[in-house]
Each structure stands twice: as C-alpha cells, then as structure tokens.
C-alpha cells in the first residue's frame, strides 16, 4: 500500500530532463520536513513552515491522500491515462519521499510494470533511503534525481545525508544525477563546500543547481545568484519551468 497525493500530466520543470513531457505521481509522506525552505502554510489555525510540497509531507493533509492498495487496478488506470495522452510519457515519481515505499509490494509492482511497459521512470528523491537493489532489481533501471538537502533545508546533517544510500544508488542504477536547491544566503556562505562534500561520494555524476522558489517572486529573488554560482563552479543551472510559467506547484 502506498499513498498517492496527486497525479497529473505535465512537463518536467527541473533537472536533467527539464522540458520533457512527463506523468507525475506524487506520493505522500517524507522522512524530512525541511522547514528551512520557509514555505508557510496554515493547519488548524497554526502557521507552519516546510518545503513547497508541504501538502505531501505533513501528515495533517493525509486525509486527502489516496490509498493505493491494488496494483492491478492502479496499473489499468495508468494505461487509460497513457492511452488518453496518446503516447508513453516519461513518468516522474516524486513526493514527499517516494522511496519510503521502495519495499512496498504494491509500489514495486506498479514501478516494475512501468519499466516493463517501456517507460522511463525518474525518482525524485532526497537520497536518504537505502535501496536493496539485490532484492528489488527493477530499481536498477530507474533514473534517480538525487536532490540531497543542504543546510538551508534546516535539517541536521545526520538526517539529510546518508552516504551509504547515495553510494548504493549511484553504484547500482542505470542513471543518476545530483540536484541541489540553493538560495542567496547559502551561496554566500557554505554552498560550494557542502556540495563538494556530497559529490565526493561519487565524483562522476552531473550536478544541477536550482533556485529555491515555491512561487515566481521567490524564484526571481534567487535565480541570478544560482546562475552566477553555476558559471563560477562549472555546475549546470536548472530553472523551475513550472513555477516560472504557472507561479505555483500543485497539479501542473
């Protein structure tokens, strides 16, 4: 069983495959909360802080999450969705943290079907969960966008960096790359050293840096600093096309 927060057909807005038509599956729940990203929202009259997908992280929203407990029914549903699109899109499994469900039978059955059906699947993950590639070999065929969190997430290093998990993913998967979320403050302080420490775990991977920004105005406050930072250090700049175009994240 896994929780699905939303699903929608759109264009991948960030990272290596930015611009690619993609069907998004957003799972519910995360092992981090990333209050440092500073998106504010209100639950039962209480103001809380989190990332731009707080609705998929904070269990206060779980009543609206859909329980997927029958793989065959969900696979039939996906087939219908792809038929309506008219071609097989790239599939992006995001969250929250989708790999919290990596060992779940229903989740793995759906994922394996996607791969067998000839679909390219990207996991957008914080890179903290260790995957057993021996027991769940289909994951070798996934693309992993390793969005490892830096100190600007507000999470302690012991929670946000799992060297073993990152190494297992980069060693065993067909494709993986790093994607870091930066704001001006961390660029002016520790971003380069923090990134360097993480990419040293597997130095050959491509590195994308993108601006923090749950809305267009926040994005515009950080984009130029990230752009210049990428030029200075030889990293790839990633925009957030969906925010740039729609000024919001949910369902686009």
Give the residues lining the site for ligand SF4 (CB under 6 A). Answer: 30, 32-34, 51, 53, 57, 95-97, 126, 149, 153
Pairing of β 2-11 and β 66-68: antiparallel
Strand partners, 66: 4
- Closest distance of CB 32 from ligand SF4, Å: 4
Shortest Å distance, C-beta 53 to ligand SF4: 5
Question: Which residue's CB is nearer to ligand SF4, number 228 or number 248?
Answer: 248
Instruction: Give 121 or 148: the residue with its C-beta nearer to ligand SF4.
Output: 148
Shortest spacing between CB 117 and ligand SF4, in angstroms: 27
Distances 23 to 19, 81, 150, 195, 213 between C-alpha atoms, Å = 12, 9, 28, 30, 22
Compare residues 82 and 101 and give the one whose CB is closer to ligand SF4.
101
Could you tell me the two tokens for 21? 């038509």
Query: Please, what is the minimum distance in Å from the beta carbon of residue 197 to ligand SF4?
Result: 18
Shortest Cβ 127–ligand SF4 spacing (Å): 9
- Using the minimum distance from each CB to ligand SF4, give the nearer residue, 22 or 147: 147
- The CB-of-147 to ligand SF4 minimum distance in angstroms stands at 6
Contact 23, 128 (CB under 8 A): no
CB nearer ligand SF4, residue 71 or residue 129: 129
Report the residue number, 157 or 228, with the smaller CB distance to ligand SF4. 157
CA distances from 245 to 42, 70, 250 (A): 25, 35, 13
Residue found under tokens 């060992």: 103
Question: Which residues, 6 or more positions from 101, have their beta carbon under 8 angstroms from its beta carbon?
Answer: 2, 27, 107
What pairing do the DSSP bridges indicate for beta strands 46-50 and 39-43?
antiparallel
Q: At what angle do helices 191-199 and 216-233 cross, to 10 degrees?
A: 70
Nearest to 186 by CA among 30, 71, 37, 13: 37
């Amino acid at each position: 069983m896994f929780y699905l927060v939303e699903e929608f057909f759109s264009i991948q807005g960030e990272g290596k495959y930015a611009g690619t038509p993609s069907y998004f599956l957003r799972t519910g729940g995360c092992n981090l909360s990333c209050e440092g990203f500073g998106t504010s929202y209100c639950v039962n009259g209480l103001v809380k802080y989190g990332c731009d997908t707080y609705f998929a992280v904070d269990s206060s929203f779980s009543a609206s999450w859909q329980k997927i407990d029958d793989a065959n029914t969900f696979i039939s549903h996906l087939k219908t969705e792809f038929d309506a699109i008219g071609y097989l899109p790239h599939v992006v499994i995001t969250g929250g943290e989708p790999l919290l469900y990596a060992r779940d039978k229903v989740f793995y059955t759906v994922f394996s079907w996607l791969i067998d059906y000839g679909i390219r699947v990207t996991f957008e993950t914080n890179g903290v969960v260790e995957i057993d590639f021996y027991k769940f070999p289909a994951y070798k065929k996934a693309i992993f966008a390793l969005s490892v969190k830096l100190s600007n997430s507000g999470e302690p290093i012991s929670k946000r960096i799992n060297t073993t998990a990152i190494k297992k993913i980069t060693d065993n998967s067909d494709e993986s790359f790093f994607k870091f979320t930066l704001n001006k403050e961390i660029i002016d302080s520790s971003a380069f050293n923090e990134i360097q420490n993480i990419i040293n775990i597997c130095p050959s991977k491509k590195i994308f840096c993108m601006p923090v920004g749950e809305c267009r105005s926040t994005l515009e406050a950080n984009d130029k600093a990230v752009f210049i930072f990428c030029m200075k250090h030889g990293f790839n700049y990633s925009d957030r096309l969906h925010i740039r175009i729609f000024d919001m994240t949910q369902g686009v």
